[in-house]
Amino acid sequence: MQHHNPGAFPDGFLWGASTSAYQVEGAWNEDGKGPSVIDKAAFHDGITDFTVTSDHYHRFREDIALLAEMGLKTYRFSIAWSRLYPQGDGELNPAGVAFYQQLIDEICRHGIEPLVTLYHFDLPWALQQDGGWSNRRTVAAFERFAVTCFEQFGQQVKYWLTINEQNMMILKGEVIGTLPPGTADVQKTLYQQNHHMMLAQAKAMIACHQRLPHARIGPAPNISCVYAASARPEDVLAADNFSAIRNWLYLDLAVHGRYNNVVWSFLQQRGWLPDIAPDDMATIAAGKPDFIAFNYYASATVSADMPEVARGELNSKQQADQQMAGIDRSVYVGCNNPHLQQNQFGWYIDPVGFRITAREIYARYALPLIVTENGLGAFDTLEAGNKVYDDYRIAYLRAHIEQLRLAVADGVELFGYCPWSAIDLVSTHQGISKRYGFVYVNRDEHDLKDLARYRKKSFFWYQQLIASNGATLDAQVEY
Ligand code: BG6
């Protein structure tokens, strides 16, 4: 459908930007913080670890002032579970509570709406050693942690996100660092963990509604539309399979409280069905989200496993990447898409897919949507005068926001957009050189330099865009 005059973004639209605790804070073991699975992950050979990252823990006032200068209406960040509960459960760490209280005070002082992710990949290491999400004890620990956050910060925080990209942890946990190396019976384990996370999420949503009647809470999966590699019905079926496994399993459970039928039969066939305790499904059904947050970077393309179609299938490096489809022969085969450009890291750039994704989610669940991640990872260069001319990032954001505007014109109820990332931070598995921020952080993989903050060209472009509520999408910016 074409819109010749797509109109504006709604009044009060939450223009924002996102970070996560372990990727931006640093101070990994300060003031009583316990280690998380990320601190113990062994995948950062040759690139930076997560000990210092962008040092936001010590520089948050300067960072929030920059975000306020950019004009952000909301700022999405996460709370490090092991800063509050160093052992994941047990004793609460007052210094951890104090840090987030100061951070939230600072955000609110600047008139920015805090948008808080409870859990962004960084499961406390003590819980992991005790079985992590395979152990039902982690469900109770998460509920307790969530309740603590609601009690401590609920007066100032209206918008909550439960679990960031649960689907990526289940589909690509080894890439992100959340799946312990050497896990036996990987798939069966992961789908059991998935069930426990669903239960934990539902309990957090129930607790939030009981304690904070004015708050709003929702899940934050990574959702992307899935294309069939051809119009061959078998390929279309494969795309439907992968979409159910990648996307709808998670949202059907969160919103409708039931397992997606296609995925259920897939799990049954493979012997990967989770153990479900008698009250679990009733609890999952009772936890109701108020909105759906979703992260979107790239679309996926799959075919059926037919040699003549599957020639364009992804290589093993591509399959390992969290944004790409994998291959599960007879169910779906991840393919290249000749119609799309790739970024410097091989991710497909697909703004139209963004619109399709937003429309699909809204059509299925009819809940308000907010985008909590979308952005371009790139090797930025710091030029003379501490300038970063990231016109490629502006082009990516412009094209994606334009498609969002069209999605709004299509009738999608969208109340915010938070690109990744507010400032430069350490990528999940590709170091600090893969930058996403509007603000450059002066360090590299092995040299912390002075960690100074410099406004990139995209900073001023986004500032102008926010001030006009999206009207200056095509405008140039002085830099
Ligand atoms: C999402 C995560 O998967 O994508 C973020 O929620 C992550 O934590 C972002 O950083 C971009 O991925 P990457 O691998 O480029 O850092």
Q: For residues 324 and 322, give the distance between their C-alpha atoms in angstroms, rounded to a whole number.
A: 6
Which of 178, 396, 428 for a ligand 1 pocket mutation test, highest count of atoms within 8 Å of Cβ? Answer: 428
| Burial of 264 per CB tally in 10 Å (0-12, 13-18, 19+) | middle
Q: For residues 86 and 93, give the distance between their C-alpha atoms in angstroms, rounded to a whole number.
A: 7
Whether the pLDDT of residue 43 is over 70: the answer is: no
pLDDT per position as a tens digit, 100-118:
999 999 999 999 999 999 9
Look at residue 454 in the predicted model and tell me its pLDDT. Answer: 98
Q: For residues 463 and 458, give the distance between their C-alpha atoms in angstroms, rounded to a whole number.
A: 8
Look at residue 329 in the predicted model and tell me its pLDDT. Answer: 81
Rounded to 5°, the CA angle 114-102-177 comes to 65
Look at residue 8 in the predicted model and tell me its pLDDT. Answer: 85
Could you tell me the distance, in angstroms and rounded to a whole number, from the CA of residue 203 to the centre of ligand 1? 26
165 is catalytic: no
**From the candidate CATH numbers 3.30.930.10, 3.20.20.80, 3.40.50.620, 3.40.50.720, the one assigned to the domain spanning 14-467:** 3.20.20.80
**Binding site membership of 424 for ligand 1 (Cβ less than 6 Å):** no
- The mean pLDDT of 28-57, rounded to a whole number, is 91
Per the structure block, which two tokens stand in for 218? 């929702």
Q: For residues 407 and 225, give the distance between their C-alpha atoms in angstroms, rounded to a whole number.
A: 14
Look at residue 326 in the predicted model and tell me its pLDDT. Answer: 81
Beta strands in 5-98 (DSSP E): 14-18, 74-78
Residues of the chain with pLDDT > 90, as a percent, come to: 87
Look at residue 119 in the predicted model and tell me its pLDDT. Answer: 98
Report phi then psi at 115, rounded to 5: -125, 110
Mean pLDDT of the chain: 95
Look at residue 293 in the predicted model and tell me its pLDDT. Answer: 98
Look at residue 315 in the predicted model and tell me its pLDDT. Answer: 79
Could you tell me the distance, in angstroms and rounded to a whole number, from the CA of residue 168 to the centre of ligand 1? 10
Whether the pLDDT of residue 289 is over 80: the answer is: yes
Look at residue 320 in the predicted model and tell me its pLDDT. Answer: 75
**Binding site membership of 164 for ligand 1 (Cβ less than 6 Å):** yes
For 215, which DSSP code? -
**Binding site membership of 122 for ligand 1 (Cβ less than 6 Å):** no
**Binding site membership of 455 for ligand 1 (Cβ less than 6 Å):** no
The residues spanned by each domain of the chain are: 14-467
- The mean pLDDT of 419-426, rounded to a whole number, is 98
Strand order from edge to edge, sheet including 292-295: 216-220, 159-164, 113-119, 74-78, 14-18, 414-417, 369-373, 292-295
pLDDT per position as a tens digit, 135-191:
999 999 999 999 999 999 999 999 999 999 999 999 988 877 777 777 889 999 999
Residues of the chain with pLDDT > 70, as a percent, come to: 98
Q: 92: Cβ–Cβ under 8 A, 6 or more apart, which residues?
A: 84, 85, 148
Whether the pLDDT of residue 455 is over 90: the answer is: yes
Whether the pLDDT of residue 6 is over 80: the answer is: no
Question: To which residue do tokens 């019976």 refer?
Answer: 185
Cis peptide before 243 (omega within 30 of 0): no
Whether the pLDDT of residue 42 is over 80: the answer is: no
Could you tell me the distance, in angstroms and rounded to a whole number, from the CA of residue 376 to the centre of ligand 1? 10
- The mean pLDDT of 11-18, rounded to a whole number, is 98
Look at residue 183 in the predicted model and tell me its pLDDT. Answer: 82
Maximum Cα interatomic distance, the chain, rounded to a whole number of Å: 64
Whether the pLDDT of residue 232 is over 90: the answer is: yes
Which of 119, 347, 427, 435 for a ligand 1 pocket mutation test, highest count of atoms within 8 Å of Cβ? Answer: 427
Ligand 1 atom closest to 375 (CA)? 11
Per the structure block, which two tokens stand in for 70? 């950019």
> What stretch of H or E contains 415?
strand 414-417
- The mean pLDDT of 214-238, rounded to a whole number, is 96
Whether the pLDDT of residue 402 is over 90: the answer is: yes
The answer to whether residues 103 and 77 touch, using CB atoms and an 8 Å cutoff, is yes
Question: Of 307 and 453, which is predicted with more confidence?
Answer: 453
- The mean pLDDT of 439-455, rounded to a whole number, is 97
Could you tell me the distance, in angstroms and rounded to a whole number, from the CA of residue 20 to the centre of ligand 1? 9
- The mean pLDDT of 375-402, rounded to a whole number, is 98
Look at residue 343 in the predicted model and tell me its pLDDT. Answer: 93
Q: b/e string for 382-418 if b means 16 or more Cβ within 10 A?
A: eeeeeebebeebbebbbebbbbbbbbbbbebebbbbb
Look at residue 184 in the predicted model and tell me its pLDDT. Answer: 85
CB atoms within 10 A of CB 358: 26
pLDDT per position as a tens digit, 299-347:
999 999 876 665 677 877 777 777 777 888 889 999 999 999 999 999 9
